[in-house]
Amino acid sequence: MVPTCWFLSPVLLVLNYGSYLLVPIPQVRVYGPSFTRLHVPWPVLSREAEFLKIKVPTKKSYDLKQEHGFSASLSEFWRKVNQPFQPNIPQPGHSTTKQLSHCFSRDKLHLFNIASKDTFFDNATRSRIVYEILRRTPCTRTCQSMGITTLIAKGVYDSAFPLHDGDYKVVGHSERNDRQLLHDEWARYGAFYKYQPVDLIRKYFGEKIGLYFAWLGVYTQLLIPASLVGIIVFCYGCYTVDMDVPSLEMCDKQQNFTMCPLCDGVCDYWHLSTACGTARASHLFDNPATVFFAIFMSLWGMY
């Protein structure tokens, strides 16, 4: 079985759930922090998946609607243009078919494509099942409490977290695992120009994290028009800075405007021309075009 969770604990604790022993602990006295590795067998996984109504792919699939004519040509052209920005991640299955999903049921195992019981549930689903078990498991051996969160709050355990899927560095010419794919095609600065592998993020981290990064990607893409308009406004300020009348008057040393002291007692009189650089810099970001930019951002934020 693939381990799904590690727990850093100052004491060893055996947690039982139903008739299954989730954590086999040797009777050895441990001094200092110790790690407890948890894994869940297939009977517990299938039972909890049915209880949590986790949706998994079935053997039933259907064909997606194919585009024809001009729309198909336009889609093919757009796909070729975006090809350099796509992450290099293998796509299992045929792209024109989609599998139907259904809530897992132990009485309907024949409906699901179970090639191997060890890999049928991905790591994110396994970690979720382990967390749900530990969240509602009562502990009566050491204290009257409910769930791993309470045990962490009381200091029985220091922390609880899922394990990664192997090392993120590729060794030799072996096939890359999900973590290595995410590191090479997403979680590094060299892949900043590529689209996010949302499906792989969802598979590895779960639906909540996948939805968060999907929304973050859409929000970042929507900021592109706003950034382009902002650059145009800034360039307009650079082009008109030498024609700005207030800045020209402040930078004209011949007029020799003498200003009152900025404070009492200590500060002296000062010349307005000393603020020339500040006035020119403020015009770059505060010019007549910023009114249009403010209106644009108001409409952009609304829609």
Range among 23-32, 73-82, 270-279 rated most confident? 73-82
| pLDDT of 227 above 90 | yes
The model carries a pTM of 0.72
Q: In this structure, is residue 292 part of a structural domain?
A: yes
Q: Say whether both 25 and 116 belong to one domain.
A: yes
pLDDT tens digits for range 231-287: 999 999 889 888 888 888 888 777 777 778 888 878 888 877 787 888 888 888 888
Q: Say whether both 171 and 29 belong to one domain.
A: no
pLDDT tens digits for range 150-202: 888 888 788 888 888 788 888 777 788 888 899 999 988 988 889 999 989 98
pLDDT tens digits for range 228-243: 999 999 999 889 888 8
Q: In this structure, is residue 216 part of a structural domain?
A: no
Q: Which pLDDT score, from 0 to 100, does residue 29 have?
A: 57
Q: Name the residue with higher pLDDT: 62 or 213.
A: 213
Band of pLDDT at residue 24, cut at 50, 70 and 90: very low
- Dmax over CA atoms of the chain, in Å, equals 93
Q: Say whether both 118 and 39 belong to one domain.
A: yes
Q: Say whether both 152 and 182 belong to one domain.
A: no
| pLDDT of 8 above 80 | no
Domain end point (choices 144, 176, 205): 205
The residue-averaged pLDDT of 4-30 equals: 41
d(CA 128, CA 144): 24
Q: In this structure, is residue 270 part of a structural domain?
A: yes
Structural domain harbouring 45: 1-54+104-163
The residue-averaged pLDDT of 45-53 equals: 91
Q: Say whether both 120 and 34 belong to one domain.
A: yes
Q: Say whether both 141 and 173 belong to one domain.
A: no
Q: In this structure, is residue 151 part of a structural domain?
A: yes
Report which residue type is found at 39: H
Q: Say whether both 92 and 109 belong to one domain.
A: no
Nearest to 56 by CA among 21, 104, 127, 124: 104
